[in-house]
Amino acid sequence: MAAPPSRRRQAPFLAGLVLILAALPVGWFVFLREPPAPLPPPEPPRAAAPVEVKKAVELVLSSFEGTVEVKHGESGAWEPARKDMPLRPTDVVRTGRGSWAVVLNGESVELRMEADTEISVEEISNELSKVMLGSGLATATVRGRPNVRHTFILKAKNGDAEASTSQGTFTMSNNGKGTVSVGTREGDVKLTGKEGRFVIVRAGQQSIVRPGKAPTEPAPIPSSVFLKMQWPKGRTQRTQEVAISGSTVPGSRVTVNGASVLTDEEGNFKLGVPLEKGKNTVHVSAVGVGGARQEEQRELVLDTPPPKKPGTLKVDTNVFQERVGGTSP
């Protein structure tokens, strides 16, 4: 059956309408859409940022007075110290009689060496400074800074003691044979002894480490130092050298006429003191790690007897004649 005439006339109209509607988006894209903005020109290549070269961390001998010497490595030769002299690992510093020196690690650590003291540099970095105290007395001040943690370690030569802190002030003495005393002025200090056993020495306390032993329990730093002397009998002496002896608190620093004297692990000491003709003043001083001092003094007089004059030989004539077979006249 044939389609009605009205439907045959509508078919082309609908097909044309569909084509027009489909062409509208294409026309808008081609004729009405704004052209895209041109791409920006490519940026020129940037120069590489310079690489910041970090300055090597080092200790500096910032100030000193008296006889102070430095050597580079154990086999190096001793040479006079210079102000602001850099110190690196294996360097050794020593102070003479009546001398002192201050070593700095930037703003983090200040280490003051007293007379007759020797240290060696073990390790240096931004986070750690490690120094060995060979003998003598040294005071370390470690300053904490925001966002910067720096640990300072002071180790005793010929012993087991090792003191460390990240903020505080403490003094360590070493008799050169590993008997060590540590006194804390500010902050907390970790003091380690044999087999890693340790105590925390807080401000106002001190502890002692003997060779092969753990640290003693921290105790308040005494306000005075015990010193007991045994002097020669009598003020007048006949020999050019006299023996003196004494005892003090273990770890205390003892000097006789300004020269350091070795004490044993119990604080005992003994030495011979040379005398000159006439009056001689012998001055003994003991200093603890807390700064307390005790002194004793004695005046000795050297009075040697004059040499004997040659004697006159007396001969008994009778005895002489009897022995040779002679007779008296």
Residue 282 shares a structural domain with residue 156: no
pTM over 0.85: no
Residue 82 shares a structural domain with residue 172: yes
pLDDT at 316: 53
- pLDDT tops 70 at residue 229: yes
- In 3D space, the residue among 182, 318, 192 whose CA is nearest the CA of residue 250 turns out to be 182
Residue 90 shares a structural domain with residue 163: yes
Residue 105 shares a structural domain with residue 241: no
Q: Which region among 22-36, 76-90, 184-198, 299-313 has the lowest average model confidence (pLDDT)?
A: 22-36
Contacts of 310 (CB under 8 A, 6+ apart): none
Write out the residue range of the structural domain in which residue 234 sits. Answer: 227-302
DSSP helix/strand/coil, 135: strand
- In 3D space, the residue among 115, 135, 233 whose CA is nearest the CA of residue 176 turns out to be 135
Residue 142 shares a structural domain with residue 200: yes
Residue 202 shares a structural domain with residue 119: yes
Rounded to whole angstroms, how far apart are CA atoms 91 and 217? Answer: 34
Q: Which region among 88-92, 143-147, 151-155, 164-168 has the lowest average model confidence (pLDDT)?
A: 143-147
92 located within any domain: yes
- Residue 150: Cβ within 10 Å count: 21
pLDDT at 52: 47
Supply 114's token pair: 């007293």
Rounded to whole angstroms, how far apart are CA atoms 164 and 199? Answer: 11
119 located within any domain: yes
Q: Which region among 38-42, 123-127, 241-245 has the lowest average model confidence (pLDDT)?
A: 38-42
Which among 172, 202, 220 is the end of a domain? 220
Q: Quick one: pLDDT band at residue 111, thresholds 50, 70, 90?
A: very high
Residue 203 shares a structural domain with residue 66: yes
Going by their DSSP bridges, the two strands 205-209 and 259-261 should be labelled as unpaired
- pLDDT tops 70 at residue 300: yes
Which among 194, 220, 246 is the end of a domain? 220
Residue 206 shares a structural domain with residue 68: yes
What CATH number is given to the structural domain containing 118? Answer: 2.60.120.1440
Residue 145 shares a structural domain with residue 281: no
Rounded to whole angstroms, how far apart are CA atoms 252 and 30? Answer: 99
Contacts of 246 (CB under 8 A, 6+ apart): 227, 228, 229, 230, 254, 268, 269, 270, 284, 296
What CATH number is given to the structural domain containing 249? Answer: 2.60.40.10
- pLDDT tops 70 at residue 39: no
pLDDT at 252: 93
Residue 177 shares a structural domain with residue 232: no
245 located within any domain: yes
- Residue 270: Cβ within 10 Å count: 14
Number of folded domains that form the chain: 2
Residue 105 shares a structural domain with residue 147: yes
Tokens 């280490």 correspond to what residue?
A: 111
Residue 196 shares a structural domain with residue 269: no
